[in-house]
Amino acid sequence: MAERSCMTTLCYIENDEAYLMLHRVSKKHDINKDKWIGVGGHFEEGESPEECLIREVREETGLTLTNYRFRGLVTFHPDTAPTEYMCLYTADGYEGEIGACDEGELEWVRKEDVLKLNIWEGDKIFFRLMNENREFFSLKLTYVGDCLVSAVLDGEELVIDKTKEAAG
């Protein structure tokens, strides 16, 4: 078996002011267990980001993308797993019907409700950037366990609000 690539795609499919979210409840030993994320996955040997995106979306949702946009590069640096470089996309064009996903439950979630879900803290930063229609960005997110300890946007350190975590 080939070694897993450290390159991945992550896609948020949009429809009627909602994102198609994946509630990761099916896989054991999953760094995303019980979190809500977009769809995507690891590159296979020789794939371009777009080939990986289209394949992963089809495998996880049954949909074929017809319109998508590369939004940014997210460097996901957890203390419990190797660093992952995620090509972040949004998509607003697709064909087909949503099928079952063996990685969890797929659900349309209104954009205004996404931040209320159990998502990674750093995801809130890129959701803000996407909502601001930021052209393209590079975001490095460093975690200790589930705690975001550092966020760097386009080379500039962001201030992380630790009061929410202390209160939560």
| Domain boundaries of the chain, sorted by first residue | 7-167
| Region of residue 163 (left: phi > 0; alpha: psi -120 to 50; beta: else) | alpha
CATH for the 7-167 domain, from 3.90.79.10, 3.30.565.10, 3.40.605.10, 3.40.50.720: 3.90.79.10
How many Cα atoms are found within 13 Å in the side-chain-facing hemisphere of 59? 15
- Closest by CA to 59, choosing from 30, 39, 38, 45, is 39
> Helix count (H) and strand count (E) of the chain?
3, 10
pLDDT tens column, 105-160: 999 999 999 999 999 999 999 999 999 999 999 999 999 998 999 999 999 999 98
19 close to 114: Cβ distance less than 8 angstroms: yes
- Closest by CA to 104, choosing from 57, 54, 31, 37, is 37
- Closest by CA to 87, choosing from 126, 145, 59, 31, is 126
Provide the b/e sequence for 112-147 (b: ≥16 CB within 10 Å): eebeeeebbbbbebbbebbeeeeeebebbbbbeeee
pLDDT tens column, 67-117: 999 999 999 999 999 999 999 999 999 999 999 998 899 999 999 999 999
| pLDDT, position 102 | 87
Cα–Cα distance measured from residue 104 to residue 22, given in angstroms and rounded to the nearest whole number:
6
